[in-house]
Amino acid sequence: EDQVTQSPEALRLQEGESSSLNCSYTVSGLRGLFWYRQDPGKGPEFLFTLYSAGEEKEKERLKATLTKKESFLHITAPKPEDSATYLCAVHLGGAQKLVFGQGTRLTINP
Amino acid sequence: EPEVTQTPSHQVTQMGQEVILRCVPISNHLYFYWYRQILGQKVEFLVSFYNNEISEKSEIFDDQFSVERPDGSNFTLKIRSTKLEDSAMYFCASTPGLGLWAGELFFGEGSRLTVL
């Protein structure tokens, strides 16, 4: 069965304290791995799509990387406004759907 | 910046009633989707829609659910005879003509459905 697992479930950091969020997947036929940010009561906000092992993408304080089994979302010198739940999702070959992980709830304290 | 818009933002209904959730996808997008998120749980795929027909649906999307594109701009999700377990946030999403192969899927802000 295709599975997407995110860790940790929750992470609390001090402002400026860099860290990484993990998304591991056991799927066949990965077409793309998507990262989203979700604020409470809001829809997921698209961040990145990664397609192949070794690929990296950056946006402001965020950098996403991909290996054959997992993806990392690195956050550098985070600010309180980076507090949100970060979701990863996989696009499987031949399908028009994303399979989501359960998310990592990130809290940045000032 | 173009965005997916959804109405209503919150709907409360009685069990057994019919509900229609509405979405206006990003113009020039051709693939449309509904996802849902039960409180505290994962975002789950319901259905994808392309060229005026369902292209894929999940096992959640049973005969209780239907989708329609009644005109050139709206995309609707109808839930017949709602159940308590239908309470969730429902998200509409859209992508350009290549679908998910375009590498982007844009979500609306969601419609919160509460079934009493």
What is d(CA A23, CA A55) in angstroms, rounded to the nearest whole number? 15
Q: Is A98's CB within 8 Å of B50's CB?
A: no
Tell me what percent of the residues of chain B surpass a pLDDT of 90. 78
**Has residue B2 got a pLDDT over 80?**
no
Q: How far apart are CA A80 and CA A73, in angstroms?
A: 17
Put simply, the answer to whether A44 touches B91 (Cβ < 8 Å) is yes
Residue for token digits 């709830």? A105
- Neighboring chain B residues of A49 at a CB cutoff of 8 Å: 103-104
Per residue in A50-99, pLDDT (tens digit) is: 999 999 999 999 999 999 999 999 999 999 999 999 999 999 877 788 99
Fold annotation for B5-97: Immunoglobulin-like (2.60.40)
pLDDT band at B19 (very low <50, low <70, confident <90, very high): very high
Cβ–Cβ contact A66 with B under 8 A: no
Domain locations along chain B? 5-97
Q: Domains of chain A (ranges plus CATH)?
A: 3-109 (2.60.40.10)
Q: What pLDDT score does B76 carry?
A: 97
Nearest CA to B84 out of B36, B3, B25, B17 is that of B17
Lowest mean pLDDT among A5-9, A31-35, A58-62, B27-31: B27-31
Confidence check: pLDDT of B1 > 80: no
Query: Does B91 score more than 90 pLDDT?
Result: yes
DSSP 8-state class, residue B65: E
Confidence tier at B99 by pLDDT (50, 70, 90): confident
When pLDDT is averaged across residues A33-60 and rounded to a whole number, the result is 94
Q: Which B residues, 13 through 72, put their C-beta within 8 Å of a C-beta on chain A? A: 31, 33, 35, 41-45, 48, 50, 55-56, 58
